[in-house]
Structures are given as C-alpha cells and as structure tokens.
Amino acid sequence: MNAFIFPGQGAQFPGMGLNMYEKSRQAQELFEKANDILGFNITDIMFQGSADDLKETKVTQPAIFLHSVILGKMMGEGFKPDMVAGHSLGEFSALVSNGALSFEDGLSLVSQRAIAMQKACELIPGTMAAVIRLEDAVVEQICEATEGIVVPANYNCPGQLVISGEIDAINRACEALKEAGARRALVLPVGGAFHSPLMEPAREELAAAIENTVFSNPTCPIYQNVTTTAVTNADEIKQNLIAQLTNPVKWTQSVQQMVADGATLFTEVGPGKVLQGLVKKIEPTAEAISAEVP
C-alpha cells in the first residue's frame, strides 16, 4: 500500500515551484489563482525571493502548501494514495489531496493559520528546542517536572523529539535534558512555541475559520497528527485539525500506525526530503521516495 506524505514548515527553498509553473498550464492557473486568493504575488517570492523572504510565516506556509498540492495535481493518474498524512502544516495539503478540502478553501485556511500563529507568537513569546538521543518517556517526564510551560511538540522519529513552550522554561528543560543524557538539547531559531498551550489564541481564531468551511468525507483515510489513526469522517477531521495547533505532532506514531495498517511505500509530495528520512528512521523496512514533477 502506498502512503502519500506531505511536508511542513522548514521544507521551503528559493525557486520552489518554478519548474512546475514553466512545465504545466494547470500549475500556472493554480499559482495565479493562489495570488488572487492571498492578495499578493506569492509566486514572485517563491520563484525569485531569497531564503529570508521565504521564512516569513505568511509566505512559508502557503508556499509549502502550494508546492505540495500543485505537484500532487500534476501527477494526474499517478496520484493514487491508499492513505495520506501530513506533518503539521502538511496536514492541510494532505486534506486537499484526498478530497476533504477544496484547493481554494485549503489555501485560505493555511493563510489564516499562518497569520493567527504569527499573532500568537507576538502575543506570548515562546520557542522550541530539538532533543536528540533521549527516550521519549524521559523527555516527557522532564517537561512535566520543569517549572513553567514546556511540552513535547513534535515526535519526529525515535531519538528526535522537539519541545515547545516559554523561553525560560525551555532553557531550564534543555539543561535538565542534557544532564539526563541527551546528546543535544538545542534551542531552534523559530518565532514561537508551536504545538503548545501558547498557541491557544491561534487555535481559537483558526477554529472559527475551520467551523465555517465545508469539509467532505475523503477518498482515502488520513492519519492525523493528533490521533495517529485512520480518519475518514469529515466532522472528526475538522476537530482534529482544530486541536492540532495546541497538541503535539505525533509523526513517529502516525508512521508506525500506517505501517501496521499495510503501508510499504511512502511517497513524499512537496519540497525537500525530510519526511523520507524520518520514515526510514521510524521503519527501516519501508521504502520512501519523492514524488517527481512529470
């Protein structure tokens, strides 16, 4: 069985999407439609902008979404997933790919999500840190014992867990994690505490937008970050999507569940190869490849 997986923030690169725009009339139409929906020419930034230009949250999230979704549409008859999943932001790309969301609604929600998250970051300063080579259970215990808000945020693969929370609490937790034997506990250059309680203002804002958007039952199951199990009910998908902003991305558990449910091939649809690397660390027997531009 083929699982299609969709990357999240951090996969962007200068020039992303230009080859698709030049090759396909369908891609051109979708990129132009995106410029109209967003109210600015994201194509100019994607195709000619610098790495710094692409780091701006209101640009990064729609850019990665567009690259993934348009690549999926260009695959035509070759786009036949048995199941899908997306890492954080990638969950929106996955939901357009399996028919739960329209292209227009998906892009609109991603744009609103990016702006809401940016506002939450400015409201309550926070950060994230990568913890390398320590058991998940130990990281969880240290987060719980640390004063202030600090929680597991991204279960990326065994031995790689990202924590999120208040700046002082993250710094305290990093010291404790190193003492507990972590090879590294490194504060990341991010703008806020994503997938933590500090994102509550963004969750509330996005919840209103999601509730007002029409979702359909998908063509194949999605393994959502919050539940890690196969979901096909539109109302359930909506609730999990709302919960995602303040809950951890359980990528390790999602991949394990997809393998348990029969996935043998993972196809990464979108920029970069980050998810393929994580899949190989989670399940070394699985095959992981990139979707190619036709």
The pLDDT, as a whole number, for residue 191 is 83
Catalytic, 88? Answer: yes
pLDDT digits (tens, 9 = 90+) for 61-75: 999 999 999 999 999
Mean pLDDT of 35-57: 94
Cα 244 from Cα 242, distance rounded (Å) = 5
The pLDDT, as a whole number, for residue 293 is 77
The pLDDT, as a whole number, for residue 78 is 82
Cα 153 from Cα 168, distance rounded (Å) = 17
Sequence-distant (≥ 6) Cβ neighbours of residue 190 within 8 angstroms? 127, 128
Average pLDDT, the chain: 96
Identify the three-state secondary structure at position 1: coil
The pLDDT, as a whole number, for residue 136 is 96
| Measured torsion, CA atoms of residues 35, 209, 258, 270, in degrees rounded to the nearest 10 | 10
pLDDT digits (tens, 9 = 90+) for 160-201: 999 999 999 999 999 999 999 999 999 998 889 999 999 999
DSSP-derived letter for residue 135 is -
Confidence of residue 39 (pLDDT cuts 50, 70, 90): very high
Are 260 and 230 spatial neighbours (Cβ–Cβ below 8 Å)? no
Catalytic, 67? Answer: no
Sequence-distant (≥ 6) Cβ neighbours of residue 45 within 8 angstroms? 53, 54, 59, 63
pLDDT digits (tens, 9 = 90+) for 260-271: 999 999 999 999
Is the pLDDT reported for residue 294 higher than 80?
Answer: no
CB count, 10 Å around CB of 281?
15
Structure-token pair, residue 82: 């048995």
Confidence of residue 77 (pLDDT cuts 50, 70, 90): confident
Are 18 and 71 spatial neighbours (Cβ–Cβ below 8 Å)? no
The pLDDT, as a whole number, for residue 232 is 97
Domains and CATH numbers, the chain: 2-122+197-290 (3.40.366.10), 125-187 (3.30.70.250)
Cα 164 from Cα 154, distance rounded (Å) = 9
Catalytic residue among 24, 68, 88, 164, which? 88
Catalytic residue among 87, 97, 164, 195, which? 195
| Measured torsion, CA atoms of residues 209, 211, 215, 221, in degrees rounded to the nearest 10 | 100
The pLDDT, as a whole number, for residue 157 is 97
Cα 262 from Cα 255, distance rounded (Å) = 11
Higher pLDDT, 58 or 198: 198
**What burial class does residue 25 get, using C-beta atoms within 10 Å of its C-beta: 0-12 exposed, 13-18 middle, 19+ buried?**
exposed
Confidence of residue 257 (pLDDT cuts 50, 70, 90): very high
The pLDDT, as a whole number, for residue 58 is 87
Mean pLDDT of 78-96: 96
Are 266 and 276 spatial neighbours (Cβ–Cβ below 8 Å)? yes
Confidence of residue 56 (pLDDT cuts 50, 70, 90): confident
The pLDDT, as a whole number, for residue 207 is 97
Mean pLDDT of 87-103: 97
Cα 228 from Cα 248, distance rounded (Å) = 11
pLDDT digits (tens, 9 = 90+) for 116-167: 999 999 998 999 999 999 999 999 999 999 999 999 999 999 999 999 999 9
